Structures are given as C-alpha cells and as structure tokens.
C-alpha cells in the first residue's frame, strides 16, 4: 500500500500554485528517511511571476505610514501564536526536531522578533536636518530598497524566515522568499498565515511570496533583474555564488554564512558549569548551527579533567524521535549532511582520539551520536572546517596569546565565547577575538535587540537589532534652497 504524499505549493500573489512546468521534488522526513510530501521545483517562469507580484505590490507597501506596516507585523505575530501547534508540527516534520524544543525554544523568540521589527518600523532614525552650506538645508531620508530576494537555510527554516521577512517588510520592502529544498513545509505555512493577514487588513498579498526549489531556483532569483537586494543564510560556497551573481548588476547583498566558533576555557573556570553550557550549545539542534560551540580550546592545566567531564556529558545527551520528550536533539537534516559528518569522523588523523560518540544512531533516519574528539592540532581539517553536526573538538592551549592565535586562525568569524572568572582577561579576549559575537561565560543566547552577523568568510550584514533593520534600507540626501 502506497501512502499518498502531501502536495506543497508555491505562494505567488496570494495564490497557491504548482510550478509552471509541473516539476516537483520529494521532501523527506529526516527522522525516518522517508518522503512525506512533494514541493514545486520552480523555474524561470515561477521566479518571474513571484518577482512581478512583489514589484507590483511594492509602491503601495512602501508608501504606507510605518504604523500601518506595524499593524500587519503585530497581527502576523498574533497569528504565529494562535497557530503555534501547526507551525511546530510542520517544523518538526521538516527537520525532525523534538516537538518540545520547537515549542519552547523557537516559537517564543520568533514571535518576539516579529514584534521587535514591528516596533522598529516606527523608529527609522537619521541625522537631523541642518544647514551645511549657506542658504541650503539638508535632509537625510531612509527608504526601503525595493523587492528583496531571500533564501533561507534548512537548519532553522522558520526562524531564519522570520529573520528575513520581518525586517524587510517592516522597512517597506516586498519579499520573494525561497526555503531550502529539504525544508519547505513550514515556510509554505508561513505564507498562508502572512497572506491571510495581508488580505484581512486590505493589503496586496503580493507583498510576500514563497517559491520552492533547489539551488538553480535560488540562482534564478539572485540573477533576476527585479530585486534590489539578495539575502541568503547558507554555506560559504553558496554565499560566494550569490555575491558573484549579484555583482553583475550591483545588487545589494546580505550574507550570513558558516561559522567555526572558538570556545576558550581558561584554568579558573568552573569546569562543571562550563561543560554543561558548552555541551548544550554544541549539541543543540544536532550541532547544525553556525554559532554552535563545537571548537573548544581549553587550558592545558585542566585539559584532561575537562575532556573527561565533556565526554560524560556527551554520553548523557540523547538524540531520538521528535515525539520523545527526553531527547535533546533530533536527526541531521538530510542524507548528504549525515554523509558529511561521517566523512569528517572517518577521516580523523591518527593523533586524534574519539572520546565519545563517533557513530550513527539507529537504522532509520539521519541520527548521529553526540561526539567529542580530542588530541587535535590547529591545522587539522576538522578544526578548520565547519562540520555542522553534533561533534565537539577539543584542543589544549598554553597561554592567552596562543588561545587568541588559534581562535582567530580559521576562515570563519561569526561567533565565539570565553570562559573565565577574570574580568580583565575576558575584556582583553573580547577585544582580540575576531568574531561578530563574543559571549562571556555563556554561549549561543540571542536577543532581538542585539545584532547577529560575522566577518571574513562568515559573510557580512547583520540580522536582528536596529542594525539588521537598517540593512533593508537605503539612504537618500535631499537638499533644498532656502531662497524658495
């Protein structure tokens, strides 16, 4: 007996549509490895239609007073709360995430972030008008950039969609959003929610559009002549491709890419508390987080004790099915990601030692055991490259200077943390660490008011905060003669 797969569809100009040429791709539940839905494999005709809808809707949306855009976003946040269980179910099936953790760790911050940007819509700031030349007054205007082409990743499909559409809509832009080809379900549901709110409040549903597809679909979006800005959260390779494509017509680009966060643990740290926080920040979401605490540098005087404690924490951490309330994380998102994690572990150098885990879990789905690897050197591949799995590496450092050198000695620069009771040392490290975020005695908390974004190959531009909001605006100088 064959189970009929659910059919997901694009959302363009307020209508759910199949791909123009009828092509589809299967969507797999990573906790079972089995397909549960099909989604459109959108092509040029679909991209054209979505961009046309967004472009048509843009003038009226741009010209709304900010208070009206705020009403829309606040209503969207309300709907997210009202339909939370639907969103949780879709995201859990999308990603295999534990239901309880999506409910507690994703829905509340998403709602809060939408409401933050609803408020930000009314707080566009610029320099005061003034006379900088005799007889002339200058004014600075902040304006929306236009249509935004946005590509969200598969590790946090819902939350990253919020990080993209909320500031863009608040600033007066219109959106064409593409989810990952492996995780379209929750984004399609978001389109239904937002479309309903726009319709209810009398605005064009073309303000927000969703098209499903693969890398080629994303490429078509970025290369399209209509959008003024392309925003992507994804791999370094994808970010480079987007930047190259966007350069052909000088689109603005917003890139949040990979990470390889150093976690620097000094000898005065409370080891038990540090291990607890680091294990949680390293294994949350199966380590599929650009800011994950997966590269630990620990002072040589406490190295052995720390590794023993971390290995025990790994052994005590459970992975399993989404409906199991006792598991901390679910499967890796897809078969390719599972293969990548296996490749890193299978390719470990002889001097490395697996202290915990290092193997797949179960016969169904893409589960991988919480893993700790010690004995590593700075130039080892697993230290230098992003694993994006539940794998924590440990290196032993000699002194503060070496900790800084090794921390900064990778191509990524998104997030980092320092664990010490010495306030002066923490301040020195926060200055020297070349990362967009430095946590002290914690790792991974994010708040809507503070910026998130990196340097180097972790990309550029900020998510969240007023800085993230401003990224979706442009600045215009207006000068007027006082002579009339």
Per residue in 118-141, is it b (16+ CB within 10 Å) or e — as a string? bebbeebeeeeeeeeeeeeeeeee
Question: Do 308 and 358 belong to one domain?
Answer: yes
Element (H, E) at 438: strand 437-440
Dihedral-angle region of residue 37 (phi above 0 means left; psi in -120 to 50 means alpha; beta otherwise): beta
Catalytic center residues: 256
Q: Is residue 31 part of a domain?
A: yes
pLDDT per residue as tens digits for the range 68-78 = 999 999 999 99
Q: What is the pLDDT of residue 221?
A: 97
pLDDT per residue as tens digits for the range 333-370 = 999 999 999 999 999 999 999 999 999 999 999 999 99
Q: What is the pLDDT of residue 22?
A: 97
| Cα–Cα dist 381/363, whole Å | 28
pLDDT per residue as tens digits for the range 146-172 = 999 999 999 999 999 999 999 999 999
Give the end-to-end CA distance of the chain in Å, rounded to a whole number.
80
pLDDT at residue 239 is higher than 80 = yes
Span 410-430, mean pLDDT? 98
pLDDT at residue 57 is higher than 70 = yes
Question: Do 178 and 279 belong to one domain?
Answer: no
Question: Do 219 and 297 belong to one domain?
Answer: no
DSSP string across 133-192: ETTEEEEEEEEE-SEEEEE--SSSHHHHHHHHHHHHHHTT-EEEEE--TT--HHHHHHHH
Question: Do 327 and 371 belong to one domain?
Answer: yes
Give me the number of domains the chain comprises. Answer: 2
CATH number of the domain within which 215 lies: 3.40.605.10
pLDDT per residue as tens digits for the range 424-444 = 999 999 999 999 999 999 999
Q: What is the pLDDT of residue 128?
A: 81
Span 27-35, mean pLDDT? 97
Question: Do 342 and 240 belong to one domain?
Answer: no
Question: Do 21 and 83 belong to one domain?
Answer: yes
Q: Is residue 146 part of a domain?
A: yes
In the chain, pLDDT over 70 holds for what percent of residues? 99
Residue 145 C-alpha from the chain's centroid: 22
Instruction: Look at 1-5, 157-161, 224-228, 443-447 and tell me which has the smallest mean pLDDT.
Output: 1-5
Question: Do 194 and 274 belong to one domain?
Answer: no
Domain that holds residue 394: 262-447
pLDDT at residue 1 is higher than 70 = no
> pTM of the entire structure?
0.96
pLDDT at residue 2 is higher than 60 = no
Q: Is residue 301 part of a domain?
A: yes
Per-residue pLDDT band at 126 (split at 50, 70, 90): confident
């Amino acid at each position: 007996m064959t189970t009929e797969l659910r059919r997901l569809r694009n959302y363009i100009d307020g209508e759910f549509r199949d791909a123009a040429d009828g092509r589809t791709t299967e969507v797999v539940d990573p906790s079972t490895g089995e397909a549960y839905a099909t989604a459109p494999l959108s092509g040029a005709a679909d991209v054209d239609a979505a961009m046309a809808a967004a472009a048509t809707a843009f003038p009226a949306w741009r010209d709304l007073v900010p208070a009206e855009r705020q009403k829309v976003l606040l209503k969207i946040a309300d709907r997210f709360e009202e339909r939370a269980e639907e969103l949780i179910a879709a995201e859990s099936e999308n990603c295999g995430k534990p239901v309880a953790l999506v409910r507690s760790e994703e829905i509340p911050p998403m709602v809060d972030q939408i409401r933050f940007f609803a408020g930000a819509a009314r707080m566009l700031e610029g320099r005061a008008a003034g006379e900088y030349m005799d007889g002339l007054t200058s004014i600075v205007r902040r304006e929306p950039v236009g249509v935004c082409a946005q590509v969200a990743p598969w590790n946090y499909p819902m939350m990253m969609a919020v990080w993209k559409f909320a500031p863009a809509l608040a600033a007066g832009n219109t959106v064409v959003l593409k989810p990952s080809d492996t995780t379209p379900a929750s984004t399609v549901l978001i389109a239904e929610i937002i479309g309903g709110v726009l319709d209810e409040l009398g605005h064009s549903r073309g303000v927000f559009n969703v098209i499903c597809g693969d890398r080629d679909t994303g490429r078509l979006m970025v290369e399209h002549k209509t959008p003024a800005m392309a925003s992507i959260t994804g791999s370094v390779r994808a970010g480079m491709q987007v930047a190259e494509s966007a350069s052909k017509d000088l689109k603005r680009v917003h890139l949040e890419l990979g990470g390889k966060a150093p976690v620097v643990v000094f000898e005065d740290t409370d080891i038990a508390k540090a291990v607890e926080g680091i294990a949680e920040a390293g294994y949350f979401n199966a380590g599929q987080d650009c800011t994950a605490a997966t590269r630990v540098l620990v002072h040589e005087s406490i190295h052995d004790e720390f590794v023993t404690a971390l290995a025990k924490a790994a052994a005590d951490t459970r992975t399993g099915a989404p409906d199991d309330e006792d598991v901390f994380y679910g499967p890796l998102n897809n078969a390719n990601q599972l293969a990548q994690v296996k490749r890193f572990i299978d390719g470990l150098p002889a001097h490395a030692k697996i202290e915990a885990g290092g193997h797949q879990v179960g016969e169904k789905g893409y589960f991988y055991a919480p893993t700790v690897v010690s004995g590593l050197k700075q130039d080892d591949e697993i230290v230098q490259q992003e694993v994006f799995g539940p794998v924590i590496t440990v290196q032993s450092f000699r002194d503060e200077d070496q900790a800084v050198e090794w921390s900064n000695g990778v191509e990524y620069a998104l997030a980092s943390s320092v664990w010490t009771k010495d306030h002066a040392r923490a301040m020195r490290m926060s200055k020297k660490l070349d990362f967009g975020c430095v946590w002290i005695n914690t790792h991974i908390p994010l708040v809507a008011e503070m910026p998130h974004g990196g340097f180097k190959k972790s990309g550029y531009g900020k998510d969240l905060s007023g800085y993230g909001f401003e990224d979706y605006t442009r600045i215009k100088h207006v000068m007027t003669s006082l002579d009339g």
